[in-house]
Chains A and B, each alone.
Chain A
Amino acid sequence: NAGVMQNPRHLVRRRGQEARLRCSPMKGHSHVYWYRQLPEEGLKFMVYLQKENIIDESGMPKERFSAEFPKEGPSILRIQQVVRGDSAAYFCASSMALSFTDTQYFGPGTRLTVL
């Protein structure tokens, strides 16, 4: 039973380029969450999506960041015109359904480095 998959595991971009991070949830999971872990900081919530819908994007920066979870295919976190401050580990998590336990299962992360 495959877990949450993320790719690429490592991504290097120059300032001004675009970064696309992909996440495939666990089989049977229809809820996807993105978190960011900055150096020396804890995990911070960014966005929560269900298939074709953004449910909560209260943690997303107002500009340059967007997320989608199409009917078919993985969830995508897109960062346009990256800056050095975007360098971080980005984690995707998934859950089976909206449940009282809120349990989420995390992927291995994508380490983004902006040169």
Chain B
Amino acid sequence: TQLLEQSPQFLSIQEGENLTVYCNSSSVFSSLQWYRQEPGEGPVLLVTVVTGGEVKKLKRLTFQFGDARKDSSLHITAAQPGDTGLYLCAGGAGTSYGKLTFGQGTILTVHP
């Protein structure tokens, strides 16, 4: 059984601060997705990374896939209140076609 450990579970910071969310596993994933979920809505895809060591940037968000494809991180620079939400990482294993394994999520609150 593949597991994804996401940390921290809760993060409360002030506007302008930087933060990093981690997603770790003992298993290798063929791809790693990051989603953001608002209350009462479905997860919205932020990025997909597929290559070990890959780094992708989306405005103030930087995503990294570990060299061994077992871990990933999401870094937000100069957080804003609009970044508040639930962030989820999800791993695809390639051979387990279609089955994404999700982390528990990180609830981020950015205070003005």
Q: A: which residues have CB within 8 A of B?
A: 4, 6, 31, 33, 35, 41-45, 48, 55-56, 58-59, 91, 93, 95, 98, 100-109, 111
Contact of A44 (CB < 8 Å), options: B43, B45, B102: B102
Would A42 and B98 count as touching, CB distance under 8 A? no
Whole-angstrom distance between the alpha carbons of A55 and B31 in the complex? Answer: 20
The answer on a CB contact under 8 Å between A91 and B102 is: no
Smallest beta-carbon distance B112→chain A, Å: 27
Residue in B30, B42, B94, B102 with the greatest tally of chain A CB atoms within 10 Å: B42
Q: Which residues of B contact A (CB under 8 A)?
A: 30-31, 33, 35, 40-45, 48, 50, 88, 90, 92-94, 96-105
List the A side residues contacting B104 at CB < 8 Å: 41-42
Q: Is A91 in contact with B98, judged by CB distance below 8 angstroms?
A: no
Known contacts: A56-B99, A95-B98. The answer to whether A43 contacts B43 by CB under 8 A is yes
- Alpha-carbon distance between A35 and B101 when the two chains are bound, in angstroms: 10
A45 partner, pick from B30, B43, B99, beta carbons under 8 A = B99
Known: A42-B105, A106-B42, A109-B41. Contact between A100 and B50, CB under 8 A?
yes
Pair B100/A42 contact, Cβ less than 8 Å: no
Specify which of B35, B43, B50, B97 is in contact with A56 (CB 8 Å cutoff). B97
